[in-house]
Amino acid sequence: MSEAGALSPDPLAGSAFLRACRGLPTERVPVWFMRQAGRSLPEYRAARGEGSILSAFADPELAAELTLQPVRRHEVDAAILFSDIVVPVAAIGFGVDVEQGRGPVVADPFRSEADLARLRPLEPEVDTAHVLETVRILVRELSPRGIPLIGFAGAPFTVASYLVEGGPSKTYVHTKALMRGDPGLWARLLDRLADLALASLRSQIAAGAAAVQLFDSWVGALAPADYHRSVLPFTRKVFEGLADLGVPTIHFGVDTGELLGLMAGAGNTVLGVDWRVPLDEARRRVGPGPALQGNLDPALCLAPWPVLADQTRQVLGQGGGIGHIFNLGHGVLPETDPDVLTRLVELVHSVPADSLAPTS
Ligand code: CP3
């Protein structure tokens, strides 16, 4: 508990986003967008300048400004830290770079037992001091306005996929070959990546993040049996390691229709759903426990407004108005007109949550 918190009421207590994460009723369904910072914003391109994105993450004043831009512009209900899922592995010197328009690349991929030595434990206050300074700046700025900051990390599988493939992949061929071909080494790799994610998330929460999201963006490439045996134990280690901190935890992946039931049981409080499974069907698959986040197809932001508005109302109806955080089913596409996102937030906020049919 912070000193201020002990004396005055918590300004985040009324946050619709935090209430919805906990399954509590809200007047309006809260909304934010994955990848809301950067990408489609002209003010982002102006402020970011040239140079590696890793140096932008390492500049607390700049990273805080880039985090705040979409909050000012769209009046979303939560901010997401401007950072990346590869920041912790880069910070311990694994040798990761981020190529503009492509994503994380690793010159010397993880392929053998000897590579484990390149994954030492993270000391967040030393290795990622700049990230924590960004979090502190943001919390000072946002908390008095009642806006929570979402911290995040990459889940063990998705980070492993970059380290093993050496960059983005469509098939995850080396990752799957390692997972099935050398289960012992795979387990040691994922265990280290779970520890890195956990240390990073705990430090972000200690610095003031009010919720965290674990991105397992690419885990939908796996069959349920492989997910259950080779990934879930390590993802669960991350969520169980956060439980004592009492903040909402969001678990997200793309193309996870067949995995939703398993992912809901990883110890998270919120489950992210992509656009392929309607939220009422997702609810049937996962039961009454977790709040659901999602799930408008990001491509529809480029469709005519009436189409987008109609689909948004459908998503709201399928979400049932309680225990639902409105979001896209994946990140904002770079081609998106930011004014459409602003209008989308206005639309979501215009619908009283208690007018939305509860799912049964
Ligand atoms: O709202 C935000 O954008 C907040 C910051 C944020 C970034 N990356 C900044 C970034 C977040 C939440 C992420 C998460 C992330 N990074 C994920 C999970 C979310 C998802 O999309 O599934 C993944 C898989 C990555 C890995 C990554 N980093 C990719 C694939 C790319 C390249 C393509 C792209 O633009 O998304 C990056 C680079 C990156 N991360 C950029 C930004 C702003 C673009 C870099 C630039 O401007 O040069």
Mean pLDDT, to the nearest integer, of 51-72? 94
Q: Sorting pLDDT into bands at 50, 70 and 90, what band is 5? A: very low
What is the position in ligand 1's atom list of the atom closest to the CA of 52?
Answer: 48
Question: What is the phi-psi region of residue 51: left when phi exceeds 0, alpha when psi lies from -120 to 50, beta otherwise?
Answer: left
Q: What one-character-per-residue DSSP string does 223-282 give?
A: -HHHHHHHTHHHHHHHHHTTGGG---EEEE-SS-TTTHHHHHTSS-SEEE--TTS-HHHH
Domains and CATH numbers, the chain: 33-355 (3.20.20.210)
State residue 52's pLDDT score: 85
Mean pLDDT, to the nearest integer, of 79-84? 98
Quick check: is 48 catalytic? yes
> For residue 97, how many other CB atoms are within 10 A of its CB?
16
pLDDT at 357 over 80: no
- Expressed in angstroms and rounded, the spacing between residue 254 Cα and the centre of ligand 1 is 14
Q: Sorting pLDDT into bands at 50, 70 and 90, what band is 2? A: very low
Mean pLDDT, to the nearest integer, of 310-329? 98
Assessment of whether the complete model's pTM goes beyond 0.75:
yes
The single residue of 19, 77, 127, 162 carrying the catalytic annotation is 162
pLDDT at 114 over 60: yes
Quick check: is 84 catalytic? yes
pLDDT at 8 over 70: no
Mean pLDDT, to the nearest integer, of 216-228? 98
How does the average pLDDT of the chain come out, rounded? 95
Please indicate whether residue 355, judged by its CB atom, sits closer than 6 Å to ligand 1: no
Quick check: is 192 catalytic? no
- Expressed in angstroms and rounded, the spacing between residue 81 Cα and the centre of ligand 1 is 11
State residue 105's pLDDT score: 97
State residue 6's pLDDT score: 54
